[in-house]
Amino acid sequence: MKKESLYTIPNLLSFYRLAAFPVILYLALSGYETAFAVLLIINLVTDVLDGWIARKFNQETKFGSKIDSIADLGTYILAFLGIWLFKRAEFAPHIASFSTFLGLFVLANILSVIKFGKFPSLHLYSWKIGGYIQGFFFAVLFGYDFITPFYYIMVTWGILAFLEHIIIQLIIPEMRTNAKGLYWVLNDKNRTS
């Protein structure tokens, strides 16, 4: 069996995101909103790049998928913290929808830890697209302003993606990477039964 290389460009980008976490956390807690937003946006861009490079240059690995998922979780935590610290007033009128969004995100992660003993690494298409939408929303939020219609597109897509994620976790017997989506999981289940 061929040994996976740990030192691929996608893995190094994920390592960067993990290493940047405490720096970005410090900036947020110290009130450096602009520096926080810039570094978090760089994290979001490297997240897009690591997945694209891994697929384009056949550098996908199980290890890379795991560290990417951990780095994604850290990026979400930082984004939520930044919203709480710097943009709370803008989100106040939308607290019910944002609380639903946040609650489903937390539930998807807790369910995975309880059922599989690890954080999720399904890498669903809906989750990836949601990440792009959320990243762009975050960049607009910190670079320009809170745009209500865009917020509702972002939060609705996120809620649907989190629900798909939860449903898949309830269906599958063990965590897997690159599950794509509910359609593919159900097709695989029908083929094996």
Our measurement of the distance from residue 95's CA atom to the centroid of its chain's CA atoms, rounded to an integer in Å, reads 21
Which residue type is seen at 21?
A: F
Confidence at residue 188, expressed as pLDDT on a 0 to 100 scale:
84
Task: In whole angstroms, give the CA distance from residue 55 to residue 124.
Answer: 14
- Dihedral sign for Cα atoms in the order 179, 183, 189, 192: negative
Whole-number Cα distances in Å, 60 to 10, 54, 66, 182? 8, 5, 11, 21
Which has the closest alpha carbon to 27: 68, 76, 86, 71?
86
pLDDT tens track, the chain, 193 positions: 345 677 888 888 889 999 999 999 999 999 999 999 999 999 988 888 887 888 888 877 778 778 888 888 899 899 999 999 999 999 999 999 999 999 999 999 999 999 998 888 788 899 889 988 998 999 999 999 999 999 999 999 999 999 999 999 999 998 887 788 999 989 887 777 6
pLDDT at res. 3: 59
Q: Is 102 strand, coil or helix?
A: helix
Beta bridge partner(s), residue 180: 124
Q: How far apart are CA 128 and CA 123, in angstroms?
A: 7
pLDDT of residue 193: 64
Per-residue CA distances from 110 to 11, 99, 103 (Å) = 25, 16, 10
Q: Which amino acid is at 136?
A: F
**CA dist., res. 60 & res. 63, Å (int):** 9
pLDDT at site 59: 75
For residue 30, give the DSSP letter: T
Q: Other C-beta atoms within 10 Å of 173: how many? A: 8
What pTM was computed for the model?
A: 0.82
- Tell me how far apart the alpha carbons of residues 60 and 108 are, in angstroms, rounded to a whole number: 23
Q: HEC string of 147-171?
A: CHHHHHHHHHHHHHHHHHHHHHHHH
Contacts of 132 (CB under 8 A, 6+ apart): 48
